[in-house]
Amino acid sequence: MKLTLIRHGITDGTARRLYYGSTDLPLTEDGFRHIELLKKSCKYPSAPLFFTSGMLRTEQTLKAIYGDVPHNVLHGMREADFGSFEMRTYEQLKDDPDYIKWITGDNESNVCPGGESGVIVTKRAMEALEPLIHADTDAVCITHGGVIGGLLARWFPTENARFKYTPEPGYGYSIVFTDGKPVSLIPVPEQNTCDNQ
């Protein structure tokens, strides 16, 4: 089966480089325009099943790419809750002792004050996807950059995997599974389907 994970489009949080996960931000006008440009120049994969994380930005991105397709919500695919760091920038946080402790330690395992760790987010995302993977039916899920980066780091470990695999808004990966195991991945939209990119 092929599972396609696509990061939602640009939001105000993306544009301002905020830590935001639990805040339910919509796409910006630039976000909608960017998705429209990608759709015109690239081919997004389709599937019999569609899902979102249920957050507004993922719902809007699904509709912008695929129209009014029937879909379900996988709440476990929501972005990390950054707790007291939520809706703040590096510049606002750089002198905060809790933030310094978080970024200088193992921030994959470190829990944001009042929030989640990368390990927690990846675990809940894997639990949400498990029935889908075992159902062995192709699916598309519109989700979040941190969720995608964490999952691919678990499935295809390499140096700095989370950051390497975290896609830009509107992009993602199709992961091919055989017997419930991830065996390969393809960037989405596929580069050879894009014009003038």
Contacts of 123 (CB under 8 A, 6+ apart): none
Residue 71: burial class (beta carbons within 10 Å; 0-12, 13-18, 19+) = buried
- Residue 114, token pair as written in the block: 């009042």
What CATH number did the domain enclosing 72 receive? 3.40.50.1240
Q: Tell me the pTM.
A: 0.94
Number of structural domains in the chain: 1
> What are phi and psi for residue 53, nearest 5 degrees?
-80, -10
- Residue 80, token pair as written in the block: 């990390």
CA-only gyration radius of the chain, Å: 16
Q: What is the per-residue pLDDT for 190?
A: 73
User: How many CB atoms are closer than 10 A to CB 13?
Assistant: 19
**Sequential pLDDT tens for the chain (197 residues):** 999 999 999 999 999 999 999 999 999 999 999 999 999 988 999 999 999 999 999 999 999 999 999 999 999 999 999 999 999 999 999 999 999 999 887 768 999 999 999 999 999 999 999 999 999 999 999 999 999 999 999 999 998 898 999 999 999 999 999 999 999 999 998 766 666 54
CA distances (Å), origin 61, targets 43, 51, 69, 179: 15, 11, 12, 30
Q: What is the per-residue pLDDT for 191?
A: 60
Q: What is the per-residue pLDDT for 197?
A: 44
Query: Which domain, by its residues, includes 84?
Result: 2-193
Q: What is the per-residue pLDDT for 193?
A: 62
Report the Cα–Cα distance between both ends of the chain, in Å, rounded.
Answer: 28
